[in-house]
Amino acid sequence: MKIDIGGKLTFRGGVYPAEKKSLTRDSEIQPGPAVKQVAVMLSQHTGAICQPLVRSANLVQAGQKIGDSDAFVSAPVHSPITGKVKEIALRSHSVLGRSPAIIIDAYQYTPSKQPRFDLADEFDENRYSPGQICDVIRQAGIVGMGGAGFPTRVKIEPNPQMPKDTMIINGCECEPYITCDYRIMLERTRQIVAGIKLARRASGCSRVFVGIEDNKPEAIEAINAALSRTGNSEKVRVVPVKTKYPQGGERQLIKAILNKNVPTGGIPPMIGVVVLNVATAAAIAEAVLADLPLTHRVVTVTGEAIANPGNYNVAIGTSVRGLIEFCGGVTKKSAKVILGGPMMGVAIADLETPITKTTNAITVLTKEQIGQAKFDRRQTPCIRCGRCLRACPENLSPTKIAHAVKNNLLDVAESYYINACTECGCCSYVCPAKIELTGYIKTGKIFLARQKKMIPQ
Amino acid sequence: MRDVSCVTQDDIRNTRYQKMLSDIIVSPAPHIGEPRSTRRVMIDVIIALVPAMIAAGYFFRIYAAILIGTCVISTTVTEWLCNLIRKKPNSLDDFSAVVTGIILALSLPPSLPFWAAVIGSCFAIAVGKMVFGGLGANIFNPAMIGRAFLTVSFGMLMTTWTVPATIDPAMPRVAPDNMVEARTQATPLAWSKLAIKDKSGAKIYSGRQFKATVTGEVAGCLGETCTIALLVGGLYLLIRRTIVIHTPLAVLLSSFVFAEICYRINPNAYVHPSFHLTSGGLMLAAFFIATDPVTRPLTAKGMWIFGAGVGTITMLIRTMGKYPEGVMFSVLLMNAMTPLIDRFCKPIPAGGKPSV
């Protein structure tokens, strides 16, 4: 396919980890575990934490808003089940540590529902005003479902200071093992296309591209077919980008499609671009057309240690343990339970950690899977081979930054642009000395933010 | 809000849960990695040096075995002793001492007595590497430090060049007649040095000499004579992505350009560039010494500058200096420049410098 928009379909740096998507790529989205209790985190997004709107012993309905915030950059949370609030307690959060969650007991086991969605392909998105769509997106609690969880309303609402003209729908899913976006593209194509139309209407973008890695030809075909069926193939273009990690990072995707660099420390709207995940697009359609708040999401449960890997539509608030047991528990000796994929996911120790809006996968790896990288050989000193520099998609010096952090020289780390790091993990992945470069850089960023009093001690 | 334990009594009774928890590891992302390790990088270099070692064995026979064996054993033992004295964990399993030993041996004159090789190896590891803190911390290439120490200490031994065993000592074929003795002969670079003085560059260098410098049938350091073997090894390193092309290409290109300019100015005094590329330690340095990751700059731009510096200084010494060969000094000089080059070539993020 000829691309006349400037992008070279790829970006500088990156790595090629084994895809391992075959474990789950052919398993259809199944209903997730029936739940008796859920723990809905009050912070499932980037931005202000929600205040609970219910108290213990209150009765809640499925889809009822139970937490919200007045802040602009925030998103409300909803109960996925009908039941009674047990308490508001602390639960493990993959980023924030211990964080408050609303614990809801159902009267009986509530099966996870597939979103009902029987909308005709033909609908007129102009029935809705942009303001209306933005309001529904906000009220439905929709956040970026690719990982960062940035509130979608804030992203797509037109902003006079940063006019947007291009929207990119991200269906890359470059992370190994994960297939939830791939299945959504195959099975919820209509939702995605409807969501694209609505998001386009709301944001006022004139150009829309759907970026999908070229290792998913079926998804490219499905989206293309749905677009031409609904007469949108002129307005929306599917761009098959090259398969390379981290192609799904928004900065890398913008580079691959538009050949533009998002300024360091900046965000895509600065260059007039907004990037939405395919799952987010589907959630927008479900919210606007079917009035469904974001209470369920598709989670890939995968990894060599899982008995029945697959893609499941899971109630947000389900515990990781519940989901793993639902998938038959672990077969072999599990070594690591990861929220997300093996490149950027967070290894968790507490299996009661609830699924949040941004949990796209649970990957359980065996010692063999991680062994080669982390256990067989001890860490050696950096031999300055420079592989991390060549792998870095942001063109940084990971080894220089990591060693500055290690020696507590935060000013040096800053002079090597530590905050430009997107924490994609390519540097640690390629390091022959097995140095946890990404870990050091993450730590350094937290230290710097503390030093500047951006976050509390 | 009160902090409640996540684990209920039911969970504790659930043995499967207990079993799962007991084995879980938590560490920062990413959780997978490439199989390549530091040891594998060093083994790659050793494999790449095998052709050069075979060539050395073919041309210099027992000298090669003695020198390579002595150097590898003494570098290894020195590193082990240094770790013992510093009370550091044993670091021999990364094989970097073996690499240093082989490269040092290949850059020594074949007839060097083994005790001198032992001294050079000890100095290379102890002073060239371990005093800086071991692998990754040294400023200068350890093998070149060892060789420089030997050059200033045993000048005579370090400039005695044995004739390859494949040449009949009684029938000197390659070197100009006035530069041949019974068992030793001058290196090709010494011929060129003489040529500059005599303005006889065209005379000493013809197709026959070129063939000799490419195959390695000339006098010189143990591993530097056979250009083909070094190219094969360098190609292996490039294919394995153990080294990147920038440094070797910059070294070879810059010395070629320098030699070409000299040759254009006065073809009588200065020999053809192809002669300079194939003789002396240039090939060995381009692929194995200047590419030493620890002592070369990190960025691509830095590697170009570094390589160009190595090539140019080598040619400056060869054409204008007192020594016939200058690879060792040029590598050491550029090693000293590496921190400066790194500072000068700091990569700029893909999104440009932050505006704040």
Q: Please tell me if residue B307 touches chain A, with a CB cutoff of 8 Å.
A: no
DSSP lists the bridge partners of residue A97 as: A93
Tell if the CB–CB gap between B38 and A383 is shorter than 8 Å.
Answer: yes
Within 10 angstroms of residue B253's Cβ, the number of other Cβ atoms is 16
Report the distance separating Cα A174 and Cα A341, nearest Å. 10
Give the pLDDT confidence score for residue B15 in this predicted structure: 45
Kindly state the average pLDDT of the residues A436-445: 93
Lowest mean pLDDT of A7-16, A414-423, B137-146, B163-172, name the range. B163-172
B34 vs A contacts (CB less than 8 Å): 15, 373, 429-430, 432
Per-residue pLDDT reduced to its tens digit, A146-171: 878 899 999 998 888 888 999 999 99
Give the pLDDT confidence score for residue A391 in this predicted structure: 95
Per-residue pLDDT reduced to its tens digit, A366-379: 887 776 545 555 67
Sign, CA dihedral B158-B159-B165-B169, equals negative
Tell if the CB–CB gap between B349 and A417 is shorter than 8 Å.
Answer: yes
Confidence of residue A255 (pLDDT cuts 50, 70, 90): very high
Residue A111 has pLDDT above 60, yes or no: yes
Tell if the CB–CB gap between B349 and A348 is shorter than 8 Å.
Answer: no
Give the pLDDT confidence score for residue A451 in this predicted structure: 87
Residue whose pair of structure tokens reads 């006022």 in the numeric block:
A204
Helix (H, G, I), strand (E, B) or coil at B183: coil
Report the distance separating Cα A24 and Cα B346, nearest Å. 42
Among B241, B320, B318, B327, smallest CA distance to B285 is for B327
Residue whose pair of structure tokens reads 């330690």 in the numeric block:
B281
Which helix (H) or strand (E) segment holds residue A207: the answer is strand A207-213
Give the pLDDT confidence score for residue A218 in this predicted structure: 94
Max intra-chain CA distance, chain B: 97
Distance in Å, alpha carbon of B241 to nearest chain A alpha carbon = 9
What number of residues does chain B have? 356
Average pLDDT, chain A: 89
CA dist list (Å): A395 to A192, A311, A404, B312, B324? 33, 35, 17, 29, 41
Tell if the CB–CB gap between A264 and B350 is shorter than 8 Å.
Answer: yes
Token pair belonging to B192: 């060129």
Distance of CA B256 to the CA centre of its chain: 19
**Could you give the angle at which helices B96-106 and B38-60 cross, rounded to 10 degrees?**
30
Q: Where are the alpha helices (DSSP H) in chain B?
A: 9-13, 15-23, 38-60, 62-86, 96-106, 114-126, 142-153, 188-198, 201-204, 207-215, 227-239, 246-265, 273-278, 282-284, 300-320, 327-344
Report the distance separating Cα B340 and Cα B338, nearest Å. 5
What's the DSSP call for residue B285? Answer: I
Which helix (H) or strand (E) segment holds residue A225: the answer is helix A217-229
| DSSP assignments along A28-61, one per residue | PEEE---EEEEEEES--SSSSPPEES--TT-EE-
If you measure CA to CA, which chain A residue comes closest to B242? A385
Report the distance separating Cα A449 and Cα A438, nearest Å. 17
For chain A, which domains are there? 116-290 (3.40.50.11540), 387-451 (no CATH)
Confidence of residue A77 (pLDDT cuts 50, 70, 90): very high
Among A372, A219, A266, A99, smallest CA distance to B33 is for A372
Residues B179-196 as b/e (b if ≥16 CB within 10 A, e otherwise) read bbeeebbbbbbbbbbbbb
Report the distance separating Cα B71 and Cα A190, nearest Å. 70
Q: Please tell me if residue B311 touches chain A, with a CB cutoff of 8 Å.
A: no
Question: Which residues, other chains included, contact A148 with Cβ-Cβ below 8 Å and sequence gap of 6+?
Answer: A46, A358
Mutation target for B interface from A384, A403, A406, A443: give the one with most B CBs within 10 A.
A384
Among B144, B109, B106, B111, smallest CA distance to B125 is for B144
Tell if the CB–CB gap between B1 and A430 is shorter than 8 Å.
Answer: no
Report the distance separating Cα B98 and Cα B352, nearest Å. 42
Sign, CA dihedral B132-B136-B139-B140, equals positive
Q: What end-to-end distance do the CA atoms of chain A give, in Å?
A: 51
Report the distance separating Cα A201 and Cα A379, nearest Å. 52
Among B223, B225, B193, B302, smallest CA distance to B64 is for B223
Q: Please tell me if residue B267 touches chain A, with a CB cutoff of 8 Å.
A: no
Tell if the CB–CB gap between A429 and B32 is shorter than 8 Å.
Answer: yes
Kindly state the average pLDDT of the residues A188-206: 91
Provide the whole-model pTM.
0.89
Mutation target for B interface from A103, A331, A378, A380: give the one with most B CBs within 10 A.
A380
Q: Please tell me if residue B10 touches chain A, with a CB cutoff of 8 Å.
A: no
Per-residue pLDDT reduced to its tens digit, A27-57: 999 998 988 899 999 998 888 899 999 998 8
Which helix (H) or strand (E) segment holds residue A414: the answer is helix A410-415
Question: Which residues, other chains included, contact B235 with Cβ-Cβ below 8 Å and sequence gap of 6+?
Answer: none
Tell if the CB–CB gap between A336 and B351 is shorter than 8 Å.
Answer: no
B83 vs A contacts (CB less than 8 Å): none
Of A348, A397, A432, the CB nearest to B38: A432
Q: Please tell me if residue B35 touches chain A, with a CB cutoff of 8 Å.
A: yes
Distance in Å, alpha carbon of B84 to nearest chain A alpha carbon = 17
A337 vs B contacts (CB less than 8 Å): 20, 24
**Could you give the angle at which helices A180-187 and A217-229 cross, rounded to 10 degrees?**
30
Q: Please tell me if residue B354 touches chain A, with a CB cutoff of 8 Å.
A: yes
Token pair belonging to A423: 């924490």
Torsion region of B216: left, alpha or beta (phi above 0 gives left; psi -120 to 50 gives alpha):
left
What is the full per-residue pLDDT of chain B (356 aa) written as tens digits?
A: 333 334 444 444 444 444 455 567 788 888 888 888 888 999 999 999 999 999 999 988 888 999 999 999 999 999 999 999 999 888 888 899 999 999 999 999 998 999 999 999 999 999 999 999 999 999 999 999 999 999 999 988 888 888 887 775 544 445 555 555 546 677 888 877 777 777 766 666 777 778 888 888 888 899 988 999 999 999 999 999 999 999 999 999 999 999 999 999 988 888 888 888 988 899 999 999 999 999 999 999 999 999 999 999 999 999 888 888 889 999 999 999 999 999 999 999 998 888 76
For this complex, say whether ipTM is above 0.90. Answer: no
Tell if the CB–CB gap between A377 and B29 is shorter than 8 Å.
Answer: no
Tell if the CB–CB gap between B36 and A420 is shorter than 8 Å.
Answer: no
Number of A:B CB contacts under 8 A? Answer: 214
CA dist list (Å): A211 to A149, A190, A237? 19, 17, 9
Residue A114 has pLDDT above 70, yes or no: no
Among B310, B291, B296, B301, smallest CA distance to B344 is for B301
Q: Is the Cβ–Cβ distance between A382 and A399 less than 8 Å?
A: yes
Give the pLDDT confidence score for residue A373 in this predicted structure: 47
Q: Is the Cβ–Cβ distance between A242 and A10 less than 8 Å?
A: yes
Amino acid at B105: A
Q: Is the Cβ–Cβ distance between B347 and A256 less than 8 Å?
A: no
Of A11, A428, A432, the CB nearest to B37: A432
